[in-house]
């Protein structure tokens, strides 16, 4: 039987689904003809239920409950229970539930199931497919072919590993053995890439409380799994950062403090002690930088960083950052600077833009062979301002380039250099704040170029 032929008259649709519908408990008095036709029907006093639609309809009797004495029946899309009330075919009736299924247009539930955001299939107890939705198998010809077949046949049809079908059938058997409880499990497949699903098998019981069908549904948890893995990687990188980037300066501070204590005991000259005080100050500054980067990242991820762009002259702002870096490192020379196009103000945040420039330049200076190996290019283009900072340093392995800019990620060849793996992450996020573009190109052992561009919202408007 094809999937299109599974409709409201299909056996698995009706009794179990109807039993889940809400009760209205509207009461009425009904007079039935001997053949069950409703001759007259009126609501009981005080109720607003209007049963006019039941008149002249035939009441289909299903059976009588010996304990309660109520007779169960259905009529005109309603499930009712009846109890004799007087004589001559008069009954007290009560609506149990409105049979909404019978009132829905043809194909309604199939459309719902086909558009449900999970895999859904219905099986017979002998493991044959009775229904399968579009989300589970998108190709209509394959869906139609599957009806009446099992997972082993499907694996053969698709040239898949038969163990997939065998494993699914073993789980199916477990679901049948313990059919009163749903069976849930995680499934990991390698068809068209790694995929993870949480799947559930649940029995649909008949009136005898026996499995009539097995409903199977699955939720694709691949994205969630990848996010969990990314979080685990992030946690691992943070632990490495904490064990190295925090421990190193703290160890240096402790050593310097112990040496100062020894020098004081030996009545050393102040200038001898000053050297170690400078070491402590440098390491404290390093710790402050790490903490500022972590706090900055937290604000970025929480979208709590103020953003107030103003017209800024790009190169003067960058030159000021260069001068600050040189003041802290007198041995640094002058980088090679190229400015192309007509300089003009650009809308940039005056607080955040210097952070972008500082992080990019600091990164280049860290890995460059010397300052002469750094080139800064500022291009004033018609639609944007582009800044490129290139160094002639160690470069980045090609396979790791996609991960540069991820929190706490550091290239495998940078372990001998200090750093948190947050500098370019912050750059990337701050450039997004400006609706700009971030790109990194690198060749191992030859150098790296960081390119950032900002849309020029200040550019002159064309006339006409």
Strand partners, 207: none
Residue 87: what are its φ and ψ, rounded to 5°?
A: -140, -175
Q: For residues 253 and 92, give the distance between their C-alpha atoms in angstroms, rounded to a whole number.
A: 91
Q: For residues 397 and 411, give the distance between their C-alpha atoms in angstroms, rounded to a whole number.
A: 7
Q: For residues 417 and 352, give the distance between their C-alpha atoms in angstroms, rounded to a whole number.
A: 25
Q: For residues 211 and 122, is the Cβ–Cβ distance under 8 A?
A: no
Q: For residues 81 and 238, give the distance between their C-alpha atoms in angstroms, rounded to a whole number.
A: 66
Class of domain 108-220: alpha beta
Strand partners, 72: 63, 81
For residue 278, give the nearest of 255, 250, 246, 256 by alpha carbon.
256
Question: What are the domain boundaries of the chain?
Answer: 22-98, 108-220, 225-301, 310-455
Q: 1.10.287.130, 1.10.3720.10, 3.40.50.1100, 3.40.50.300: which CATH number matches 225-301? A: 1.10.287.130
Residue 239's pLDDT is 65
Strand partners, 83: 92
Residue 13's pLDDT is 35
Q: What is the CATH number that goes with domain 310-455?
A: 3.30.565.10
Q: For residues 64 and 78, is the Cβ–Cβ distance under 8 A?
A: no
Q: For residues 357 and 318, is the Cβ–Cβ distance under 8 A?
A: yes
Q: For residues 234 and 408, is the Cβ–Cβ distance under 8 A?
A: yes
Helix (H) / strand (E) containing 403: none
Q: For residues 356 and 385, give the distance between their C-alpha atoms in angstroms, rounded to a whole number.
A: 14
Question: Is beta strand 336-340 parallel, antiparallel or unpaired with respect to 375-380?
Answer: parallel
Burial tier of 318 (Cβ tally within 10 Å: 0-12, 13-18, 19+): buried
Residue-by-residue pLDDT tens, the chain, 464 positions: 222 222 223 333 333 333 333 333 457 788 888 888 888 777 765 444 545 566 777 888 888 877 777 888 877 767 788 888 777 788 888 776 555 544 556 677 778 888 888 899 999 999 999 999 998 888 889 988 999 999 999 999 988 888 888 988 888 888 888 888 888 888 877 766 778 888 889 888 887 888 889 898 888 888 888 777 777 776 666 766 666 667 777 788 888 888 888 888 777 778 778 888 888 887 887 787 777 777 777 777 767 788 899 999 999 999 888 888 877 676 676 778 899 999 999 999 999 999 999 999 988 888 887 767 789 999 999 889 999 999 988 999 999 898 888 877 888 888 778 777 888 888 998 999 899 999 999 999 899 999 999 998 665 444 43
Residue 135's pLDDT is 87
What residues contact residue 179 under an 8 Å CB cut-off, 6+ apart?
Answer: 203, 205, 211
């Amino acid at each position: 039987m094809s999937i299109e032929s599974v409709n409201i008259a299909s056996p698995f649709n009706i009794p179990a689904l109807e039993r889940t519908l809400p009760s209205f408990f509207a009461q009425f008095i009904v007079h039935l003809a001997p053949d069950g036709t409703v001759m007259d029907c009126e609501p009981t006093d005080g109720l607003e239920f209007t049963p006019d639609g039941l008149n002249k309809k035939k009441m289909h009797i299903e059976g009588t409950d010996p304990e309660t004495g109520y007779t169960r029946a259905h009529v005109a899309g309603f499930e009712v229970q009846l109890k004799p009330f007087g004589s001559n075919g008069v009954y007290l009736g009560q609506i149990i539930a409105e049979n909404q299924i019978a009132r829905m247009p043809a194909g309604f539930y199939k459309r719902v199931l086909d558009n449900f955001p999970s895999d859904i299939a219905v099986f017979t107890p002998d493991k044959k497919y009775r229904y399968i939705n579009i989300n589970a198998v998108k190709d209509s010809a394959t869906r139609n072919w599957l009806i009446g077949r099992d997972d082993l046949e499907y694996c053969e049809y698709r040239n898949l590993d038969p163990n997939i079908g065998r494993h699914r059938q073993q789980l199916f058997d477990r679901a049948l053995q313990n059919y009163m409880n749903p069976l849930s499990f995680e499934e990991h497949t390698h068809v068209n890439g790694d995929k993870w699903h949480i799947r559930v098998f649940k029995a649909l019981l008949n009136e005898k409380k026996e499995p009539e069908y097995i409903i199977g549904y699955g939720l694709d948890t691949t994205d969630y799994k990848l996010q969990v893995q990314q979080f685990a990687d992030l946690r691992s990188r943070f632990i490495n950062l904490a064990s190295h980037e925090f421990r190193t300066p703290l160890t240096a501070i402790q050593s310097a403090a112990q040496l100062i204590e020894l020098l004081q005991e030996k009545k050393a000259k102040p200038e001898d002690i000053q050297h170690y005080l400078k070491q402590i100050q440098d390491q404290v500054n390093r710790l402050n930088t790490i903490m500022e980067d972590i706090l900055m990242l937290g604000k970025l991820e929480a979208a709590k960083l103020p953003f107030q762009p103003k017209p800024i002259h790009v190169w003067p702002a960058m030159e000021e950052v260069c001068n600050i870096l040189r003041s802290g490192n007198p041995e640094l020379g002058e980088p090679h600077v190229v400015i192309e196009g007509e300089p003009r103000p650009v809308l940039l945040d005056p607080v955040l833009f210097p952070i972008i420039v500082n992080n990019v330049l600091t990164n280049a200076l860290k890995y460059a062979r010397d300052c002469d190996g750094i080139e800064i290019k500022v291009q004033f283009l018609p639609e944007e301002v582009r800044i490129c900072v290139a160094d002639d340093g160690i470069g980045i392995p090609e396979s790791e380039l996609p991960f540069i800019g991820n929190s706490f990620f550091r290239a495998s060849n940078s372990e001998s250099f200090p750093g948190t793996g947050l500098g370019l992450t912050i750059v990337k996020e701050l450039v997004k704040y400006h609706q700009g573009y971030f790109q990194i190109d690198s060749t191992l052992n030859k150098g790296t170029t960081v390119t950032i561009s900002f849309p020029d919202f200040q550019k002159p408007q064309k006339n006409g």
